[in-house]
Amino acid sequence: MRRREFITLLGGAAATWPLAARAQQSTKLPTIGYLGTALPSAWSTWTAAFVQRLRELDWIEGRTVAIEYRWAEGRADRYREIAAEFVRLKVDVIVTVGTAAAAAKQATSVIPIVFAVAADPIGSGLVASLARPGGNVTGLSLQQTEAAGKRLELLRELFPDFRRLAIIANVGYPAAVLDMNEVQVAAHKLGLDVVDKLEIRKPEDVTPAFNVLKGGAQALYVCGDALVDSVRARINTLALGLRLPTLYPNREYLEAGGLMSYGPSFSDLFLRAANYVDKILHGAKPGDLPVEQPTKFELVINLTAAKALGLTIPTPLLARADELIE
């Protein structure tokens, strides 16, 4: 090839490169708005399960899909602010949980919303029905009603002489109030006494709540929510100082020192939330996707916490555990 022809060809190619680069940059990836209600560390296991399932469905972060992460850090007042930001960013789908999903629904009736976890999606107004959600919201519902009784039965297996219970809950969160009420009903049926109800609304309430314990409780039932999630280490430290075993709704709380948990696998629920996102990004309408129920429940026991409390876990209970943390 002659030198002049080569230079001409090179110049023409160079002129097209910026155009190609601009065209590639202008191609917007489908975007997921991921609204975490607690700290990133508290959600790390769930987020990992969600992202891994997306990868299995060929939604690879940074290549075929973009994810905008926002963290409310246990502050409910941040939900609306973050939801409004997602609307401004024009994300293609919002993924979150519970009351944050309600805030997102108030912010938009157009952008699809998937809740990975919701205690009462019908009662809270998230969906019209489980079979036909309608609107722009769908996801996975928790079944709380029977779980409270099963958790208390586990405590009786742990302590044959178990009679007195304390409960802590964020009374500013409707689902936690519902859980607290159901625990009291279940306790009455089992012949147990609820001797203390620790009501909190913000992180600063936790220590004062423990300071007014009347005493006599043999275990602490912890109603989970974003606020409790953000202060779980403090709750466990204070409970350990009082030699008070803790019972939680899911295993992630045990990583901060809790004793035992029983409930739906949140990692599995977040994994399944990715299936909803996949369908929506492929054109499905959220209102046509039925709300699903938990299918995987886990009993997890923290042996390190048991040792710190001076407890010996009965062998039959150990044998039934899905996971032992050491």
Q: What is the rounded radius of gyration, in angstroms, for the C-alpha atoms of the chain?
A: 24
User: What is the bridge-based pairing of β-strands 246-248 and 219-222?
Assistant: parallel
Buried b (16+ CB within 10 A) or exposed e, 75-93: bbebbbebbeebbeeebbb
User: Per-residue pLDDT tens for 276-299?
Assistant: 999 999 999 999 999 999 999 999
Half-sphere exposure of 13 (CA within 13 A, CB side): 6
pLDDT band at 174 (very low <50, low <70, confident <90, very high): confident
The better pLDDT of the pair 77, 5 is held by: 77
Residue type, 300: V
Res. 143 pLDDT band, cuts 50 70 90 = low
Q: pLDDT over 70 for what percent of the chain?
A: 91
User: In the prediction, which pLDDT does 144 show?
Assistant: 58
Helix (H, G, I), strand (E, B) or coil at 240: helix
pTM of the shown model: 0.78
Average pLDDT over residues 128-143: 93
Residue 150 — φ and ψ, nearest 5°? -65, -40
Cα(225)–Cα(169) distance, integer angstroms: 8
Least confident window among 86-90, 176-180, 206-210, 236-240 = 176-180
pLDDT tens digit string along 51-69?
999 999 999 999 999 999 9
Average pLDDT, the chain: 89
Domains of the chain are 31-142+266-297 (3.40.50.2300), 145-264+298-325 (3.40.50.2300)
